[in-house]
A and B are shown apart, each in its own frame.
Chain A
Amino acid sequence: MAYNNPDGVMIGLEIHVQLNRLKTKMFCGCSTQYHNSQPNTHVCPVCMGLPGALPVINEGAVEASMKVGLALNCEVTDRTQFHRKNYYYPDLPKGYQVSQYDYPIVSNGKVVIEGEDGELVVRIRRAHMEEDPGKMVHMGTIDKSRGTLIDYNRSGMALLEIVTEPDLRSPKEARRFLDKLRNILEYLDVFDSNLEGSMRVDANISIGGGSRTEVKNISSHKGAERALIYEIMRQKNLLRRGGVVTMETRHFDEARGVTTSMRTKEEEHDYRYFPEPDLVPLKVKDRTSRLLDTLPELPDARRDRFVSQYGVPEMHAKALTSDIKVADFYEMVAEKVDPKVAATWVADVLKGELNYRDLTVKSFNVEDMVKIIQMVIDDRITDRSGVEVIRTMLDSGGIPMDIVQQKGLMKAEDSVVSSAVDEAIKENAAAVEDYMQGKEQSMNFLVGQVMKKTRGRADPQTVREMIISRIK
């Protein structure tokens, strides 16, 4: 059924992605691996903005940005250029941010997501490169702070700001878009979403064709959904009471789950953009075909391949490919055991258990998964026991066989043999009849069938007695 968007919600997103898989920062040689370091140890004259220091463009950042653009079906510009965005803030060491203005590196792309009513095309307006500011740390709470410290380790990290058209119609769609974007970025290996501050979102929201507000300071996908739900509710309530939504910038208070006014349109900054005279314009278009060749298989393509190659249902293929690490994990498991069974176990069971515990697939290893699935296939443990093994491993560790033994999850030998006997009798009525007629060889045949079903684990004499007792 078509989604009719009852409130006329229009959402556009601006996503700041830190290209944290690069080795060095945007304009200097400082390492990007500062996350576990002392403050101000990954800095140099350039990213500290010391007088006289000059920026040099990190070619790796340019190509990573182009790859992202290509993966988002964007056009690559012929000529790209950096501008200065001027504003004062303590974490901005030069008093301006080197960013891009009217010559962004890529523009006019699109991403298809699962919308409220099937596929939704979200248009990408542009994506441009810029540098990250430093980070402020308040000593004590923000209102009773004894002072503020600044850590410039983050200063100069390469950022890509991706701007969508206002094509999203609900907070859920916004969250799905962000999930999909994160997934694509991780497939491209330009981005690690687990690092602090790696993706920051600003959202524009309007309802019923009214003025839009911009909500800043959203730092997670869950946060984006919550901020949008709150902001839509706020705007609706305002309109219901006869008020008007005014164009303004609002701040999302993650702890309280509310948005508060930061500044109105009249108070907006004038950034006084002008071309960065310390950098020269770049010609990049001729790199496009080479970069296209190096693009890895992206989530949608991989999903289609899983359906055709492994014969798994579309739903499973989607779930498996929505995180590159899960998809890689699945393919390794599928090499060893029936891919369809593996898909159920990885997509339905393992992923669910991991999500529940806020863990990633890194917490589980492929060999263990293979062993568990193999035991289920061999009918040595039940499905339910398989799940229990996984849960136990995630909660308290251990290896599958030990857990099975300690918890006595192995299907009892007797009952295995017993059901194999029942099956053999049911499946070989003719042989049973022959035995009743006095053909001894028929008994040997029936025992052999049970041995086959139990893979030789049963005692032939016992089996023989069990058969005789059951057919009399």
Chain B
Amino acid sequence: MPEWINISGIREKITDTSAEEVTLSHIDKIRNSRTYGFSAINEKAVEQAKEIDSRKTDSPLAGVPIAIKDNISTLGIPTTCSSKILEGYVPPYNAHVIERLVDAGAVILGKTKMDEFAMGSSTETCCEGPALNPWDTERVAGGSSGGSAAAVASGEAPVALGSDTGGSVRSPASFCGIVALKPTYGTVSRYGLIAYANSLEQIGPMGTCVKDVATVMDVIAGHDPRDSTSIKKDMNYSKSIEKDINGMKIGIPEEYLSDGINPEVQKCVWDAIHKMEDLGATWKSVSLPHTKYALSSYYIIAMSEASSNLARFDGTRYGLRAEGENWHVMASRTRAEGFGDEVKRRILLGTYALSAGYHDKYYLKALKVRTLVKGDFDRALSETDVLMGPTMPDIAFKLGEKIKDPLSLYLTDVNTVPVNLAGVPSISVPCGFADKMPVGLQIIGRHFDEESILRAAYSFEQNTDHHKKRPEGVR
């Protein structure tokens, strides 16, 4: 039976047995998965584990297996963004985060499913079919990093990497009852992350507990000269969680607890806020008045950037290639066959938003709204230390329930996308259950103040039992 085991548990196991044993047992769990989070297993994983065993290193992730979202480039391991168009593409280089993980002794278990090119909130647009929610396999795992969340929540990997463009690590963490951090924009190098919307996304760690997320952050964060948007800043994330939250000022954005939120989810969040109060924090209501425009702004910016980012997939150099009597026909057919409906929809909308005559009306206006949203956060966080609210407006929905209605799916991102527009950090931690499904609490901080949100999340976690509950069949 798979089990939830954190990094320190893994390290004890390695001491008792070996990294090879631990890796083998995880690969075995993946092969018997009921949630199908993985799209590929790293053929060299066991070899890497053996190598760690022979090295006897004590680096924090030595021998720790990790699952990687399939939009993060891995040398020698297929990287497809869960898209048919990247069929057969094997990167000749490692993403910055992979280099860091390998240097720290982590064992890359394999690649996890995602919404195609990270475009979705349920992992249902994955070209190989969805990852399932371990709490109820008839429900979605969330998205777009649904495969990573399902893998961690199913006990198939103790930690995983996802990426978050508009909530893509926080949404599945909330739906699957695990922890995930969206770092401040510029904290983790995007070198090797296959872009969906460059100005919004960050790679983020996912795990069963706050401490593990902080430990992985210590490894993957830091300046990388190959990413011009990467910031020079030294942080110690694991250390920052140790302090308590006595005196911490919490802001509750009224817009995040609006009528559209499932009342049971609201109840969990209020319980969490009161728990924080018990732990010495104070709270007050704040307003993020431009929240109602954030979703439109987010989708226009993300789709515009995506329409350009995805232009390179033309069948010329790598991945799928259709037949055609000349290059333009070949490229068009490749794109017609290779991209799924949601990806095509976003490329079309993004192309439209950037076109002459519409550029100012849509793209430029969206940028202006983005500035206003940023201002909302600056104001609210000038009088509080962190903001809290529900990560998702509801619990995980049923497979197929929203996929035919894109707008209802987009609406599920309402509380997560403003964070990406502003570039601030945010974490989702389990805060209870509604209808037997996990609910996530979102804690948002100031730019580069991961410390406060990790500390708040850790204190909450250490003083509640939500994270100790397991999906059925997981020990």
B28 within 8 A of A: no
B124 on the A face (CB < 8 A): no
Instruction: Report yes or no: A272 in contact with B359, Cβ–Cβ below 8 A.
Output: yes
When chains A and B are docked, how far (Å) is the Cα of A279 from the Cα of B198?
10
Cβ of A45 and Cβ of B93 under 8 Å apart? yes
Does B190 lie within 8 Å of A54, measured CB to CB? yes
User: Is there a chain B Cβ closer than 8 Å to A280's Cβ?
Assistant: yes
Separation of A272 and B350 alpha carbons in the complex (Å): 10
Q: Which residues of A contact B328 (CB under 8 A)?
A: 88
**A52–B89 alpha-carbon span in the complex (Å):** 12
Does any Cβ of A come within 8 Å of B193's Cβ? yes
Taking CB atoms, residues of chain B closer than 8 Å to A96 are: 308, 311
Task: Determine whether A296 belongs to the interface, using a CB cutoff of 8 Å to chain B.
Answer: no
Contacts of B331 in A (CB 8 A): 88, 90
Tell me which residues across on chain A come within 8 A of B313, comparing CB atoms. 51
Complex interface: chain B residues within 8 A of A273 (CB):
354
Within 8 A of A (CB), among B293-331: 304-305, 307-308, 310-314, 316-318, 327-328, 331
Interface of B is mostly: loop
A-side contacts of B81, CB under 8 Å: 51
Contact of A278 among B91, B194, B229, B359 (CB under 8 A): B229
Structural contact, A51 and B198, CB atoms closer than 8 A: no
B61: min CB distance to chain A, Å: 22
In the assembled complex, B386 has its CB within 8 A of some CB on chain A: no
Q: Which residue of A lies closest to B319 (CB)?
A: A51
Q: Return chain B residues, CB-CB under 8 Å to A45.
A: 91-93
Distance between Cα atoms of A86 and B194 in the complex (Å): 18
Does A34 touch B at the CB level, under 8 Å? no
A52 touches B317 (CB 8 A): no
Q: Is B407's CB within 8 Å of the partner chain A?
A: no
| Contact, CB under 8 Å: A54 / B227 | yes
Min CB–CB distance A182 → chain B (angstroms): 32
CA distance A88 to B332 in the complex (A): 10
B311 touches A94 (CB 8 A): yes
Q: Is A140 an interface residue (CB 8 A)?
A: no
Asked if A272 and B355 make an inter-chain contact with CB atoms under 8 angstroms apart, the answer reads yes
A59 to chain B, nearest CB (A): 12
- Bound together, the chains give a CA A124 to CA B225 distance in angstroms of 35
Interface size in chain A (residues, C-beta < 8 A):
29
Question: Would you give the shortest CB distance from A80 to chain B, in whole angstroms?
Answer: 14
A468 at interface, CB cutoff 8 A:
no
Cα distance, A277 to B327, chains bound together (Å): 28
A451 to chain B minimum Cβ distance, whole angstroms, is 77
Q: Using an 8 Å CB-CB cutoff, how does the interface string of A260-285 with B read, 1 for contact, 0 for none?
A: 00000000001011100111100000
Contact of B91 among A52, A90, A272 (CB under 8 A): A52
Please determine whether A49 and B312 come into contact, CB atoms closer than 8 angstroms. yes
Interface residues in A330-384 by Cβ distance below 8 A to B read: none
Residue A238 lies at the interface, judged by CB distance under 8 Å to chain B: no
Check A274–B228 contact: CB distance below 8 A.
no
Q: Which listed residue, B226, B310, B316, touches A56 by the CB 8 Å rule? A: B226
Shortest distance from the beta carbon of B420 to any chain A beta carbon, whole Å = 13
Q: How close is B332's CB to chain A, nearest CB, in angstroms?
A: 9
Partner of B73 from the list A48, A51, A90 (CB cut-off 8 Å) is A51
Taking a contact as CB atoms under 8 Å apart, the answer to whether A52 and B193 are in contact is yes
On chain B, which size bracket covers the interface? Answer: 35 or more
Q: Which of A80-104 contact B (CB under 8 A)?
A: 84, 86, 88, 90, 93-96
- Complex Cα gap A273–B356 (Å): 9
Most buried by A among B193, B312, B316: B312
Contact assessment for B356 and A270 in the assembled complex, using a CB-CB cutoff below 8 Å: yes
When the two chains form their complex, are residues B86 and A54 in contact, meaning their CB atoms are under 8 A apart? no
The reply on B195 being an interface residue by CB < 8 A is yes
Tell me, yes or no, whether A148 is within 8 Å of chain B by CB.
Answer: yes
Count of chain A to chain B residue pairs whose CB atoms are closer than 8 Å in the complex: 105
- Enumerate chain A residues within 8 angstroms of B191, measured Cβ to Cβ: 52-54
Name the CB-closest residue of B to A271: B356
State how many angstroms separate the Cβ of A387 from the closest Cβ of chain B. 55
Q: How far is the CB of A190 from chain B (nearest CB, A)?
A: 23
Q: Does B192 contact A (CB under 8 A)?
A: yes
Let me know if B92 and A50 touch, CB within 8 A: yes
Known: A272-B355, A279-B228. A50 touches B93 (CB 8 A): yes
Residues 52-81 of A at the B interface (beta carbon under 8 Å): 52-57
B199 within 8 A of A: yes
Chain B residues, CB < 8 A from A399: none
Are the C-beta atoms of B316 and A277 separated by less than 8 Å?
no
A150 in the interface (beta carbon within 8 A):
yes
The answer to whether B311 touches A95 (Cβ under 8 A) is yes
CB proximity of A279 to chain B, nearest CB, Å: 5
Chain B min CB distance to A82 (Å): 10
A95 to chain B: closest CB distance in Å?
2
Most chain B CB within 10 A, of A86, A88, A150, A277, is at A277
- CB of B312 within 8 A of CB of A93, answer yes
Point out the residue from B79, B226, B363 that lies within 8 Å of A51, measured CB to CB: B79
User: Using Cβ atoms and an 8 Å threshold, which residues of chain A touch B48?
Assistant: none
Q: Are B327 and A148 touching (Cβ within 8 A)?
A: yes
Shortest B144–chain A CB gap in Å is 16
Q: Of the candidates A52, A94, A270, which one forms a contact with B192 in the assembled complex, judged by CB atoms under 8 Å apart? A: A52
CB distance from B344 to the nearest CB of A (A): 15
Measured between beta carbons, the chain A residues less than 8 angstroms from B121 are none
Looking at the assembled complex, report how far the CB atom of A140 sits from the nearest CB atom of chain B, in whole angstroms.
Answer: 15
Give Cα A107–Cα B368 distance, bound, in whole angstroms.
28
CA distance A52 to B197 in the complex (A): 12
B384 is an interface residue with CB less than 8 A from chain A: no
On whether A95 and B363 interact (CB within 8 A), knowing A54-B190, A90-B327, the answer reads no
In the assembled complex, the Cα of A90 lies from the Cα of B312 at a distance in Å of 10
Q: Nearest-CB distance from A46 to chain B (Å)?
A: 8
The answer to whether A86 touches B311 (Cβ under 8 A) is yes
CB-based nearest B residue for A55? B228
> How far is B317's CA from A290's CA once the two chains are assembled, in angstroms?
43
B187 contacts the other chain (CB 8 A): no
Q: Are B95 and A95 in contact (CB under 8 A)?
A: no
Q: Is the CB of B327 within 8 A of A272?
A: no
Q: Which of A401-427 contact B (CB under 8 A)?
A: none
Further 18 A-B residue pairs, CB within 8 A, beyond A45-B91, A51-B86 = A45-B93, A49-B312, A52-B72, A52-B194, A53-B191, A86-B311, A88-B314, A90-B316, A95-B311, A95-B312, A95-B314, A270-B355, A274-B304, A274-B354, A277-B229, A278-B198, A279-B229, A280-B228
Where the two chains meet, the residues of A that have a C-beta atom closer than 8 Å to any C-beta of B are: 45, 48-57, 84, 86, 88, 90, 93-96, 148, 150, 270, 272-274, 277-280
12 contacts between A and B (CB under 8 A): A50-B91, A51-B89, A51-B313, A52-B195, A55-B228, A90-B316, A93-B317, A95-B310, A273-B354, A278-B227, A279-B228, A280-B229
